[in-house]
Structures are given as C-alpha cells and as structure tokens.
A and B are shown apart, each in its own frame.
Chain A
Amino acid sequence: MRIAHEILEKNKGTQDLCLIGIRNRGAYLAKRLRESIETIDKGTVHVGVLDITLYRDDLTLIAQQPLVHKTEIDFDITDKNLVLVDDVLYTGRTVRAALDALIDLGRPKCIQLAVLIDRGHRELPIRADYVGKNVPTSQKETVEVRLAEVDGADEVVIVEKD
C-alpha cells in the first residue's frame, strides 16, 4: 500500500502508468499493487506479465531447468512509464534480463523497479526505486517470499542453505 502511494506520487497519477510483474511471484505482486493503486486513484493501470527465461545468463548453472512460460503484455509499452515488479532483489541479474526483454518489446519512457524485499549482494549496478523492506542477509541464506495465491499464505522466510 505504501509502495502504491509512492508510485502514484513519483509518476503524478496513473497517466501512462503500467505495471510489469516478473514471473512467477512478481506477477501476483503486480496485480496486488494495481488493486491498491486503483483504490487510491480513479485511473486504470495496465498489468503485464514477463517471463525472462529466454534472457537469463545462467541457464546452465541452475540444476532444475525452468519451464519457459508465456510473456503476456498485450499493450504497447512505447512511451509508457513502466514499473517492474519482483519479489526479491538480490544479484540484479533477473532485473538485467527483464530490462533486455522489455526493450525488445518497445521503447518505454522510463522503467522503474519495485521489489518486496531487497536483500543486498548486488552483482550489477542496479537499484530499486521502491522497496517493501530491506532485509540484510548472508549469501548462505535464501529468501523465500510466499504468497497466498501460490503458496496458501503470505510470508517471507529466510532459509539457511545446506
């Protein structure tokens, strides 16, 4: 809700505003943000879903191959103010892939970044415009965001990697 206010304030309303959720959980967070924004402001906000599998730089490094899902952005992003939404900001590589994917789809006026959790340890010069909570972590830990839509309950858990 606070992020919804911040987005509206920075973009001066919902004119040309679109939210782009990064699969998987970013997509649900983007839909929630839209609801919050639309209860504050009367305008309507487009929401799109981005699958970044094809833009990753680490496909061979992860044990489980991710299933390629659909990108669902059924509006023209050119000259729009886009807010990219994801659950956790960590190395920045997912956001890098998402930026490449978006720029292949058009030329937005600007791209901002909203994340629920910023856990530090960036490997690329990327920062979020809107942060739900900064959570200092060790690289031995993983941060799992669970959402009612997929996981049955809303919670953020820090797990020690084994």
Chain B
Amino acid sequence: MPVAWTRKDLLGLEDLSKEEIELLLATAESFKEVSTREIKKVPALRGKTVVNLFYEPSTRTRVSFEIAAKRLSADVINIATETSSVRKGETLIDTGKNIEALKVDIIVVRHNYSGAAAMLGRHLKASVINAGDGWHEHPTQALLDIFTLKEKLGRIAGLSVSIVGDIAHSRVARSNIWGLTKLGANVTVCAPKMLIPPAIEQMGVEVTSDIDEALSNADAVNVLRMQFERDEENAFPKQLEYFKNFGITQERLEKAKKDIIVMHPGPLNRGIEISSEIADGANSVILEQVTNGIAVRMAALFLVAQANENISHDNTD
C-alpha cells in the first residue's frame, strides 16, 4: 500500500480514493491493539490539542473521539454549543478562528448544515474532522462500519450490503454508500418510498422498498435509526407501521442468509427499526462497532495530524 495520507482534513468518503480508504482501515487495524493493553495509551499525539465542537447532541461519537484522542496522548476539550457563545450569535467560522487562535491542532465538528465541516476546513489551518454534517456525510461512522464488516468477513469487494431505513436524511447512509462502492461492494438501499432521495441510483446502488428482497441475498444489513426528530413535515410512517413493514425481526432474518451480519450505528430504537432479539442476538455486531469506532478515530486523528505537520513543515523550509 504505497499511498501516503496528505489531507489535513477528513471531510467525507466521497473525496477519498479507494487507496486512501484502505490506508485508513489498515492504520485503524494497527491502532486496535492499543486498546487491548493494560496501559491504553501511546505518545503519538503528545502535545496536540483536540477540540470536539458539537452543534448537535451526541454521546457516542463525541465520547469515542474523546477516548481516541486521549489514547493517543492528545489533550481534549469538549464544546457543546448549547452552553457556548454560539448562543450569543457567533458564526461557525468565527468560532473556528477563535479555537484556532488558542493553538488547537484538530477540530472535530458536528453540525446540522451539510458542508459545515468543509467550510471550516477551508478557512482554518488546523485539521478538521467531520463528525457528521447535516444529511451529507459522517465518514468515521461509515469507516467503522466498513472496518467491522471487513474484520468479520475478511473482505469488502463482492459483498452484498443492504442499508435499511431513512436514507433521505441519513449522512451515515451516504458515507457508507461512498465507501462501500469504492471498495467494490454491491449496495442496496431499502426504505419507504418517501424516505428514498431522488436519483440515489446515480450513487451506484440498487433501490427497493421491499424489505424481504433487500435481505434475501445480503451478506450484511446496516439498520439505520428512524430519525423522527427530522420529520418536520410529519410525513414519516408511524412507529408501529414502520416496524411492521421494515423492522428487522427474527421472522424476517430466517428468510435471509444464516450468517447475515446485522449492524446499527446507534442509538437503537428497539421495536421500531429492529427487534430486541435481533439487536442482542448472534448476528448482531452492534457493540463491536462501538469498540472499533475508537481504533478508526485514532487512525483518523493520527493521519490528519501527521499530514498537517508535514504541510506546515514544508511551508517553513
């Protein structure tokens, strides 16, 4: 794998080459071992400062980034915008520039507007990692999904992966589609018609609204959370209706491949998109996804920090 990582930011999987995605996954594999040690820490980012800047509520992603940064010996500061000057009307770029003026090296940002991370990245010398921007991308979530799949099945190329749920509002779905198709998987998206965005076929995926069809040949199914908080027009199917027509249940999985892998990015809505027996069952890798998230985020933090240092080093020569 001769490719080198030269990007100061990680904004999405759409921009990345197959080789860059493979480099991220390979680096994550090396980092996974660190979390199995008694002293779960390496000095790679000693003296670096990471700020988690979250404009949307998040526990799992923020904590995962925080643990990843700390296992690399970086210092971490969390900013939740509900309690910050953002409430006083400060713009994203002003907030970013102020954080940069504090000599912060990496900003991990989650924002409800698509493209927010990219905009911040363009205006700052500090590295920016996208932890979810609107409906656009959530690259580290897709990377940890793909990492988990690869760990379980040994490959990505040639696999059939179905993504079920609110595709229209899902950045997790988009990042997964980019990553999986670049690595050669066959992706099917499955949702009620109103939750399938127009022209999604152009991303190279099959589309269906028949859950049994989506499961029939799949090696893995990624079950998305129904984001009822995004249902501003009150157009979503009701919870029980959704469970009846699209919920992943024992009965439905019996018709699928015996070893089908069931993933979910969390937080789970038990009894809406997935039944408890499946979420806690033998096919589920949901908690392994959480564990792998740390290794993937360590790899992302390490690679962008290293690339940024090379960039600034070149500039001072």
Contacts and interface: CB of A to CB of B under 8 A. Distances in A.
Contacts of B246: none
Interface stretch (B37-45, B59-67, B111-119, B265-273): B37-45
B30 A69 contact: yes
A106 interface: yes
A68 B31 CA distance: 8
Interface string B1-41: 10011000000000000000001001101110100011101
A70 B30 contact: yes
Contact of A54 (B26, B42, B309, B310): B42
Contacts of A68: 27, 30-31, 299, 302
B178 to A, nearest CB: 23
Contacts of A55: 42-44
B31 to A, nearest CB: 7
Interface in A85-112: 100-101, 104-106
Contacts of B302: 54, 68
Contacts of A71: 30, 33
Contacts of B37: 104-105
B30 A59 contact: no
Interface residues of B, number: 25
Interface residue SS majority, chain B: helix
B306 A65 contact: yes
A51 interface: yes
Contacts of B230: none
A18 B277 CA distance: 46
B87 interface: no
Interface in A113-159: none
Nearest to B4: A65
A15 to B, nearest CB: 24
Among B1, B39, B72, B307, chain A packs the most CB atoms within 10 A around the CB of: B39
B43 A70 contact: no
Interface string B37-58: 1110111100000000000000
B313 interface: yes
Among B1, B31, B42, chain A packs the most CB atoms within 10 A around the CB of: B42
A100 B39 CA distance: 12
Sorted nearest first, the 8 A-B pairs with minimum C-beta distance are A54-B44, A54-B42, A68-B30, A60-B309, A70-B30, A60-B313, A68-B27, A65-B4
Interface of B: 1, 4-5, 23, 26-27, 29-31, 33, 37-39, 41-44, 72, 299, 302, 306-307, 309-310, 313
5 contacts: A55-B44, A60-B306, A67-B1, A71-B33, A106-B38
